[in-house]
Amino acid sequence: MGSPGRRLSFFSSHDVGNTTTLLLSEDGERLYVGARDAVLALDVSHKDTVLLKSKLDWSPSEKDLEECSMKGKKMADCPNFIRVLQFLNSTHMYACGTFAFSPRCTYINSETLTMSLNTVEGRGRCPYDPYQRNTAIIVDGELYTGTVADYRGNRPVISRHLSEGSRVDLKLDDTLGWLEDPTFISSSFIPHEEKIYFFFSEVGREFNFIDKFIVSRVSQICMSDVGGQRTLQRRWTTFAKAQLLCQAGSELPYNVIQDIDMLPPAEGAPADDTLFYGIFTSQWAVNSGRSAVCSFSLTEIKSVFSGNYKVLNRDRLQWSARVQDKVANPGECGLHNASDNALRFVKENFLAEDSVRPVGRGLTLVSAEHTYSHLTVQRVQAANKKLYTVLFLLTEAGHLHKAVLLQSGPYIIEEVQVFKPPQPIRSLKLSIPKGMIYVGTSEGVVRIPTANCSYYWTCAQCVLSQDPFCGWDPVSRACVEVSDTQTALSQDIDGGNVEEACNSITLTHRTKFEPSKLPTASCPAGEPVSVSLNEVVRLHCPAASQLSKQLWVRPNSRLSSDLYLHLEDGSISFVATPATLGHYLCLSTENGYRQTMAIYHVKQKNNPMAQTPPDYAHLHTRAQPTTQTVARPGLHTSVRVVPKTTELRPAETKPSLSIRNTQVTTRQLDKNLTFQVKESGNTEAEFPDGKPLLAARCPSYLKELVVVSVLLVLCLSLLITITLYVLRQHCQRRTAPATGAPSRDSDRRTPEEQEALGENQFVNKYNGQAPLGGHAHGLICNGNLTASTQNLPNTPF
């Protein structure tokens, strides 16, 4: 949100919250939102903004709120939370809300957003509790719901409403235990089968060796079902359910379903190629915090429902496999005309014996770091006319992952931080015609584009993203969205091979700059980094993406681990010495492709003592921008920090003989600096104004050698002087006459007292004043200096 290159639009209002239900028009121009005490109509036809077109207030009265509070409910849970919002026909919608724990339903004009005068009771159509999950779908003017039908939430039901003519409303038989404390997730309509599939999780009573073992289910009902004539009157005769098994090999299954979405078959493919992608978590501690995505085919689901069914022994309350012949086929449409014996058989045999296993008998995607809560899926045609499946996964931390499913496995293209701080996700909706994703939260609605190809600024980055939505256009030299009108786009979704995809395109000078092409006669140009000896230097390396690896190299040198510290963010740190001065290159490698991200030239500052300035000024401090956001492809937007630096200019600083405080210098490459590699081998750096910067020469250490030699001569001279002085004093003491007899006081002291007195006199002679004045320099040099001055221990003069 707010990053450059991202067109994230956010709608919020002070009186709008808990956008739990989203409904998108067929043309994608309008988004209807079911929120707390309101239904909204948002205009999403504009590119960069989401506008409120109209709003319908639908809230309980003060009397309803008082009755809700008297029932022991919190006032925060008593408003009307819209939980059902479906198109009834071309002109009206059907909406239901919790309405202060007394569900109500109504008809709403989709154009004017006006509500009918009369509302009806919503029991069995909408949950009482706003925290209970439900599902609803309208097909041919009839409402199919999965929810609870009582105030306490103990009567789960799958039912049909709004039936007309000879058709009657149906529901499950409450006394048969067809559902065991379910949590409804979603429902889908399969047109060619005329069936409605419900997805939910419940307690698996067939696993009696484990207490409250949660299993994921898929159930089906036929739209043509009208109930039995004598047995199962006004009850489903085609209800059947089976277990969804999201499991890899012999590992423990991911048994709790969180969300599921249907992917229709490709154009020209059979209808049985319909796939269902679901998010699953585990109730086992070994898989705690992990999420898995599994896909199930409609062919597999139909095969399981057409197989054998288990039977429940109601005396022992145990499930077993039936061995005798089947009287009827449970789940088969048209059983409402069957005999009472056949209806009694399907009444007790509604659990399929086999489980629905995932496509490929394995997990589509598994994440040990992120907990996914919602997903949506889309089939995309790449530039080579090949179809790819793209998953959009929302994490509980407020991140959107876009992943493409390849033969080698799932590949996460990018990660978008939708919310900061994280917010509870209420709903997720995909608009394929508009290429947008809508996320409903407790505070509003966020619109995210499914593709943002301008985010990649080179052919290499566009190809490395392996995004089927994007391809590199050699004509406009830009990464553009794939369409039917564009041809000859550079793209490699399966391999991400930059050399093959961009072989006909001239790469930028920056990506062509390789360490092997460095001239040997002179050092290459780079961003100058002026340091002093014994100063801690830190060089930053911008990452091309989170999937890339960063590598530091030096021309004709090796980075020893004894001298260099490689940090987690990819930067490198070292102490400036004559051996560490020179040039450094930061390389980014990804999928076998290498590119240069930064070049630095670390050199020593000019010695201020070697100059004689006419006057002296105070210390000059120059402040630079503290943060800069760089839009780079990958999972995150890279943020580079250029800290404030304090520079000692030679012409403005007084020469001083005091010990210099060790400083930490941090540098990072300016994004406006580009590099040119000429065929002759000479390297130049060019700034935005077009003035070239001559190649820097290799550093010279003649001045340092002269200074060290002078200091050595001075030290030897001082040592010789002190030695001569000590010898002279010694000779004088030997030739000096005696000063006479000791005094009376001294005679009274014992020899031990006289010796102690001599030692005290020697100590008192230098008490508080060390030789050469103050504390000895050697004590400061070898001591541990405070961290506030950023000094290193054992720093020499």
Q: Residue 493 has which token pair?
A: 């979704």
Please, which pLDDT band fits residue 251 given cuts at 50, 70 and 90? confident
Single-letter code of the amino acid located at 413: I
Nearest to 649, CA basis, from 625, 618, 624: 618
Nearest 10 degrees: Cα torsion 342, 347, 349, 352: 110
Residue 472 — φ and ψ, nearest 5°?
Answer: -90, 125
Give the model's pLDDT for residue 688. 36
Single-letter code of the amino acid located at 561: S
Please, which pLDDT band fits residue 656 given cuts at 50, 70 and 90? very low
Instruction: Over range 448-472, report the average pLDDT.
Output: 92
Please, which pLDDT band fits residue 5 given cuts at 50, 70 and 90? low
Which letter, b or e, does each residue of 510-540 get, where b requires 16 or more Cβ atoms within 10 Å of its Cβ? bbebebeebeeeebbbbbebbbebbbbbbbb
Which letter, b or e, does each residue of 248-277 get, where b requires 16 or more Cβ atoms within 10 Å of its Cβ? beeeebbbbbbbbbbbeeeeeeeebebbbb
508 vs 458: CA distance, rounded Å: 8
Helices (H), 204-331: 298-305
Instruction: Over range 472-495, report the average pLDDT.
Output: 88
Give the model's pLDDT for residue 337. 84
Instruction: Over range 376-397, report the average pLDDT.
Output: 94
Single-letter code of the amino acid located at 581: L
Nearest to 182, CA basis, from 197, 205, 169, 201: 201
- DSSP letters for 375-407: EEEEEEE-TTS-EEEEEEEEETTSEEEEEEEET
Q: What is the set of domains in the chain, with CATH numbers?
A: 453-501 (3.30.1680.10), 509-609+626-650+659-703 (2.60.40.10)
**CA of 349: how far to CAs of 118, 193, 205, 544, 781, in Å?**
42, 22, 14, 58, 88
Contact by Cβ (8 Å): 448, 480: no
**CA of 702: how far to CAs of 303, 535, 660, in Å?**
85, 20, 21
Q: For the chain, what percent of residues have pLDDT higher than 70?
A: 76
Give the model's pLDDT for residue 792. 35
Among the residue ranges 365-379, 578-592, 686-700, the one predicted with the least confidence is: 686-700
pLDDT in tens, 638-651: 322 333 333 333 33
Whether 675 shows a pLDDT value over 80: the answer reads no
Q: Residue 643 has which token pair?
A: 């800290």
pLDDT in tens, 716-759: 999 999 999 998 888 877 655 544 444 444 444 444 444 444 44
535 vs 538: CA distance, rounded Å: 10
pTM over 0.75: no
Q: Residue 143 has which token pair?
A: 């409402």
Contact by Cβ (8 Å): 592, 601: no
Please, which pLDDT band fits residue 483 given cuts at 50, 70 and 90? confident
Higher-pLDDT residue of 325, 535: 535
403 vs 390: CA distance, rounded Å: 6
Q: Residue 314 has which token pair?
A: 């109601």
Please, which pLDDT band fits residue 504 given cuts at 50, 70 and 90? low
Among the residue ranges 262-271, 383-392, 761-770, 778-787, the one predicted with the least confidence is: 778-787
Whether 478 shows a pLDDT value over 70: the answer reads yes
Q: In the structure, how many helices (H) and strands (E) does the chain have?
A: 10, 47
Whether 401 shows a pLDDT value over 50: the answer reads yes
Among the residue ranges 105-114, 144-153, 210-219, 601-610, the one predicted with the least confidence is: 601-610
Burial of 721 (0-12, 13-18, 19+ CB in 10 A): exposed
Whether 180 shows a pLDDT value over 70: the answer reads yes
Q: Which residues are paired to 445 by β-bridges?
A: 11, 440
Give the model's pLDDT for residue 525. 65
- DSSP letters for 257-292: EEEEEEEPPPTTS-GGG-EEEEEEE-SSGGGTT-EE
Among the residue ranges 150-164, 398-412, 460-474, 640-654, the one predicted with the least confidence is: 640-654
Among the residue ranges 58-72, 126-140, 704-718, 726-740, the one predicted with the least confidence is: 726-740
Of 159-168, 270-279, 543-552, 736-745, give the range with the top mean pLDDT: 270-279
Based on its alpha-carbon atoms, the radius of gyration of the chain, rounded to whole angstroms, reads 39
Q: Residue 77 has which token pair?
A: 């849970």
Give the model's pLDDT for residue 607. 62
96 vs 86: CA distance, rounded Å: 9
Contact by Cβ (8 Å): 183, 202: yes
136 vs 130: CA distance, rounded Å: 15
The one-character DSSP state at 611 is -
310 vs 323: CA distance, rounded Å: 9
Whether 586 shows a pLDDT value over 90: the answer reads yes
